[in-house]
Amino acid sequence: MPFILDLRPFHGVPPRSIGGKAGGLLHLERAGLSVPPWRVIPADQALSRPWEHNSNAARALTDLFRVLSQPPFGGVAVRSSAELEDGAHSSQAGRFATVFADRNEELPGALRAVLDSGPAMAVVLQARVQARISGVLFSAHPAQARPGEAYVEAVHGPGQGLVDGSRAPSRFWLDLASCELLRSEPGTDGPSGLAPSLVRSLLEPLFRLEEALEAPVDVEWAADDTGLWFLQARPITAVEADASLRLPECSTSWFFDQRFFEPIRPLTRTTLLPLIVRSAIAEALAMRGRTAPEPLFRIFAGQAYVPHAVYRTMLAGAPGWWLSQDLRQLFPRTCGCRNENAAWGALWHYVWSALRSVASQRGDVFFNLRAWEQYCSELREALSRLPEAAPDSEREWLEQWRTLDRLNERFLQIHRWSYLWANYVYRLVRGLARAFPRAMRAVEHRAGRVTREANAALAQALRGEDVPGFLDRYGHRAESLDYAAPTWAELFAAGQLAERYSAAPSPPAPDDELSGRQWGLFGRIGRMLELREEQRFEWERVLARQRQMLLASGRSLHERGILAEVDDVFFLEWEELLGTLFHGRVAPNLALRKHAWRLDARIAKPLFAGPQPPGETPQGRVLTGIGASPGVIRGRVVVLRHPGELAGMNEAEAVAVLTTLDPAWTLFLPRVRALVVERGGVLSHAAILAREYGVPMVIGVEDATRRLRTGMDVSVDAHRGVIAVHPGPAPQ
């Protein structure tokens, strides 16, 4: 391999596989942006530094300097390109050196300085722009993010003083829709304004670049006498929402954040989400004799939030000891909302309304298992005889959608009682664990059966064993309830299933004795607990069928030239979909919505949000939650923004801190030493499998992903639900 590579002709090279600044430069060029000429010295070649002891290599370096420094350029910028730089979820921007060589003789010294600034890494050599003005373009202000507003900092001349903080830049806020300047704050080292042509040149390719990087972006640029040049690009890894976007009252994402990981797309937000809200919240309020307020939920950073007052009204009068561990998360000590549970009148009203609700729905309450089995039979029959409605017949298409929605509604009616039974039965039998440990182990084993078997089947399929059986039984499973989430069958057909789960360890072998024995009463208890997992699994069959209908609609709109991509259909709202699909209406511009969705994915979503931002936890403090899977571990925190990042975890160091965890990612649990999760209960999908796999886990840790930071040294006591933060970094 030559020690200097020109990656640009290698169009088959995925930029993500390159990493670092080299990958960002490939993204820039493939998005059609103007990039100064550049070359890469791969990490293995840079490690040996052949130009220092090989005359041919030294001559090649001299020739390269001559090529790169030709007018309009002057000199060469030597930049680090480490794999850990500019990643999708973490950035080491500024950690390693960038050195400029104005003359050929300075190039070896510049290379040495860059390579000595970090671990073994590749190096980018890039033609240096003779800049009149330089700057950094952000998709949004990282500390005051507002969808639709880009942010620019600019200085006169080269941008080195801007990125290292030694110069005072001018600041500009730009409107992404109109490509116009919104407001500015002049700096002593920056221009008083930006020319409209420069603003357009900066913003017009931004959406293409976000599409390539799959994230909001941070782009370095420079303008010389010939035009605008883009120097490098990286994802923005951390974004704080602007204060104006905070919710007007204390609200919580409890319940929804366990089911929707990514920001909820507009199509799901206007179809499935209102249905869930009506069944889980509005009808529950009606059982208490209360009317649901308007709006019943708001969207913050793409997640659904319900006013905290709604849950307090719903549970007013319920004694604290009566609430399940899941529900106790709705009454944190840090919340200043008024607690109504102490009033005797509220207690009697709670008891009376609870008895009335149970009586009115006694079939689903007392014969819940029978109702569920009957539903499963109806579900299988309905799905087998439901014809595939083409998206060119409005009447047939809508009738099929309504049929599936009726299945959704009936499922939610049964599930809310199954959910309560599972929680209260589990609390009841925990006291029997000492007297009947083996029986209780069987109960736990059965509770996680559906997800455990799905994980085992996935592991087999990845080895090429019984793939048809896997797809038939588990192909409908997805990683989120959002209609936009692809199913396992779709990932397999696209060749992405192995890529997504290739790093997953083999799940622990099932305990045959526990699986095979019957435990009488305890078997019935295990069946009640098993429903929580099983019902989610079966419900996904309906959602998968609805997703196929939406994809067919997306293909139709794409073929008609209305949508640029088939998956763009998920960024339409429900009425917009019907209007474009059946009535010839013009689809809205979805570029801004997709930009906002990517931005929302980077904004922290606390369990409780409101007018004030949540606080942080300094070192030396203790966080508390609920011990969901026993064990005591000390290790280094790794905060994850998405459960899929578990695939890259190193079990020797990881105390994984997440918002929540979907069944589809539990296959990676053996990779981590411990789990700290903000959301969920002792019967959540993750908790059941964590106990099964023997991974210590603490749940219900408020704002854990914000209050803990990657690199912190912590002790996790999952018996007591305590996380202690030790001073200093974790020991290596």
pLDDT in tens, 138-184: 999 888 899 899 999 999 998 877 776 678 899 999 999 999 999 99
Phi-psi region of 464 (alpha: psi -120 to 50; beta: other; left: phi over 0): left
The token pair at 325 is: 């561990």
CA distance 214 to 212: 6
Q: What is the pLDDT of residues 579-602, one digit of tens each?
A: 999 999 988 989 999 999 999 998
CA distance 621 to 702: 14
The token pair at 412 is: 């939610």
Average pLDDT over all residues of the chain: 84
Using DSSP's 3-state secondary structure scheme, residue 79 falls into: strand
Query: In terms of Cα–Cα distance, which of 607, 583, 662, 3 is closest to 334?
Result: 607
Residue 125 confidence (pLDDT): 93
Q: What is the pLDDT of residues 321-356, one digit of tens each?
A: 788 777 888 887 666 676 555 566 788 888 888 889
Helices of type H across 324-393: 325-328, 344-360, 362-366, 368-385
Q: What is the pLDDT of residues 30-59, one digit of tens each?
A: 888 999 999 988 888 888 898 998 888 899
CA distance 376 to 546: 17
Q: Which residues contact 493 (CB under 8 A, 6 or more apart)?
A: none
Most confident residue range from 16-20, 479-483, 687-691: 479-483
The rounded Cα 159 to chain-centroid distance in angstroms is 33
Residue pair 254/329 in contact by the 8 Å Cβ criterion: yes
Residue pair 536/689 in contact by the 8 Å Cβ criterion: no
Q: Which residues contact 390 (CB under 8 A, 6 or more apart)?
A: 396, 397, 552
CA distance 48 to 123: 13
Pairing of strands 251-252, 608-609: antiparallel
Using DSSP's 3-state secondary structure scheme, residue 88 falls into: coil
Residue 214 confidence (pLDDT): 87
Q: Is the pLDDT of residue 10 over 60?
A: no
Calculate mean pLDDT across residues 427-431: 70
Q: Is the pLDDT of residue 515 over 70?
A: no
3-state secondary structure 195-241: CHHHHHHHHCCHHHHHHHHCCCEEEEEEEECCEEEEEEEEECCCECE
Q: What is the pLDDT of residues 540-568, one digit of tens each?
A: 999 999 999 999 999 999 999 999 999 99
Query: What backbone torsions phi and psi does residue 608 show, to the nearest 5 degrees?
Result: -120, 125
Q: What is the pLDDT of residues 388-419, one digit of tens each?
A: 888 988 999 999 999 999 999 999 999 988 88
Q: Crossing angle of helices 521-559/685-693, nearest 10°?
A: 120
Q: Which amino acid is at 45?
A: Q
The count of other CB atoms within 10 Å of the CB of residue 88 is 15
Q: Which residues contact 18 (CB under 8 A, 6 or more apart)?
A: 7, 26
Residue 439 confidence (pLDDT): 66
CA distance 647 to 655: 14
The token pair at 200 is: 């357009």
Residue pair 308/257 in contact by the 8 Å Cβ criterion: no
Residue 491 confidence (pLDDT): 95
Using DSSP's 3-state secondary structure scheme, residue 19 falls into: coil
Residue 650 confidence (pLDDT): 61
CA distance 264 to 144: 21
Q: What is the pLDDT of residues 232-253, one digit of tens each?
A: 998 887 788 888 998 999 999 9
Pairing of strands 654-658, 674-677: parallel
End-to-end CA distance of the chain: 35
Q: Is the pTM of this model over 0.85?
A: no
Residue bearing tokens 């002790």: 715
The rounded Cα 211 to chain-centroid distance in angstroms is 16
Would you place residue 652 in the very low, low, confident or very high pLDDT band (cuts 50, 70, 90)? low
Provide the β-strand partners of residue 674. Answer: 655
For the beta sheet containing 251-252, the strands, ordered from the edge strand earlier in sequence to the opposite edge, are 298-300, 303-307, 251-252, 608-609
Q: What is the pLDDT of residues 486-512, one digit of tens each?
A: 999 999 999 999 888 877 776 666 565
Q: Which domains does the chain have, with CATH numbers?
A: 1-129 (3.30.1490), 131-242 (3.30.470.20), 622-729 (3.50.30.10)
Pairing of strands 712-717, 632-639: antiparallel
Would you place residue 473 in the very low, low, confident or very high pLDDT band (cuts 50, 70, 90)? very high
Calculate mean pLDDT across residues 80-102: 68
